[in-house]
Structure 1
Amino acid sequence: MESRLSFIVLFIVMRISAAEVVKKNLTGTVGGSVTLPGPLLEKGYITFGGKILASVRQGEFYIDEEIYTHRLHWNKNSGNFSLTNLQRNDSGIYTLDNKGQRMISSYKLTVYDAVPTPSVIKSNVSSNSCSLMCSVDGAEETTLSWHRDEKIVKRIRSAVSLSLIVFRQDFNSSHRCVATNPAQEKTLEVDVKTSCEHNNTESRDGKDQRHHKILIGIIISIVCGVVLIPAVLIFKWNYVDQKKTTTRETQGRIRGHETRSRVY
């Protein structure tokens, strides 16, 4: 009995010493796929959370957990496993036990949400600068950064927006807003010169139009004044004054008639 127990202990020690444990960090995005780089060719199995997901026996692939039937795949030529249609709960440690080579390989997989596509709007455009705002829908585990040419000029983590003021001397430089997480990156190129110069032109045109309208209003007021004032004076002369004269003459004739009546 003691000799048998000693044999088992010796076997376990030999097994551990012969096994090469390789730990690598892998990343993936929701809905995407990932490949475990360690090959498993002839026989062995893959585990996750203490459960055997699938096994290879005599060069044939067998699924042990039915929920992985259409998601876990094995390439017979390379011996690599791949997991598709990733979900957040797929994050964890996957272990390959290659019995043929007595090698155990472990991989820590972290699944992230897909990086949202950034968008950029322009505001506060002046003659010597332009303010840009880069934003994303949802900022969990997402880093936003502004790049000018090959340099990062501004960066923020876990925020929905990041602003940048670009001065005229930098209008010709390359600008881009980048949204990243550990598994994915999305970039939006921004043509600052075209966008901001266009806005400046619109702003100047708007001011010119307002000035033009004001000038036209002043001219119309002057013209109306020049035309209306003489017309009012003529109306006053021809109608009001004549009416007053007629009224006075009528009143004079009435008083004369009354005087004559009293005499007779």
Structure 2
Amino acid sequence: MYEMSAFLDDLSLKVGGELVLKPDKSTVTDPITSIAWKHGKNKVAEWDKDFGGLDIYAAFKNRTTLDQTTGELRISGLMKTDSGVYSVEFNSKLPDKTYKLSVFKAVPKPTITSSCNTNKTSCTLTCEGDTTDAEPVTYRWKEGEGAWEVVGKQLTVSKSDTGKSNNGYNYTCKMKNAVSEEVSEVFGPERSNTGAVVGGVVVTIVVLVAVITGFLVWKKQTGYPQDTWIDFLRKYCSGMCAKGSDGVQPEQGVLLTGEDDADKAEKGQGNGAAEASGSNSHKDESKPETNGSDVVQPEQAGGLPGGVTEDQKHGV
């Protein structure tokens, strides 16, 4: 809030702020019967004792008050459009003084950006920020711990300039208008770029060392010299990493080989038994089949048909 006496004719306030105008009634000799405030040619507030009542006009409604005794005008929630010349009339007479109001938006906290040439021997720093409704804005720059200098929105820096002091490429900019000022964070282009590069290199080295160490330890524990990076990644990525061309784990390969040998041994034994059985069968088939009636007993070898003996044949 800013209070203005009649002898002040110019002031600047922030958007959203409050204006209080206190007119000088010393030139008014008669009792006050009417008060009227104007913004340019448009009425803001009006009071008349004879007609009674207070009128607040247009865009000033709900945010303007008028003291009917002192003539003080109070406007809150100032907007950019409230800028202009204000005047007051007592008893329809205009005092000598008028009041000029300028409403500005507060400047934002600025940020510094840089644009360098190919060799980075020269860089242009820019003090950035949205200054809509905040103009006119002045820009100041500070190098290291030096004094503020009014230069402009941009500052050109070269290696020869930075070599003059030990500021370490540290720069700060400030935005300022009639109602506010803001200062940026310290900016160091060389430090920022170098830090980013060094940080990236360190992280990369740490990751590579961890991966290589893990691979060597795993390879030593497994004892398989033929193991590759693919085997290592398959084991520790739980199937999320790339698989080999055959898609078979090393452990599974060993297990499958053992099972094949056992199967072959069992199959070999089975084939041998089958061959032995087949051989015996062939031998049995080569022998003639006989039954009890076909067998000639030794004592019957010399007999004659019909049971006749040799003695009977010769009449003995």
| Larger of the two Rg values belongs to structure | 2
Normalised by the length of structure 1, the TM-score is: 0.49
TM-score by length of 2: 0.43
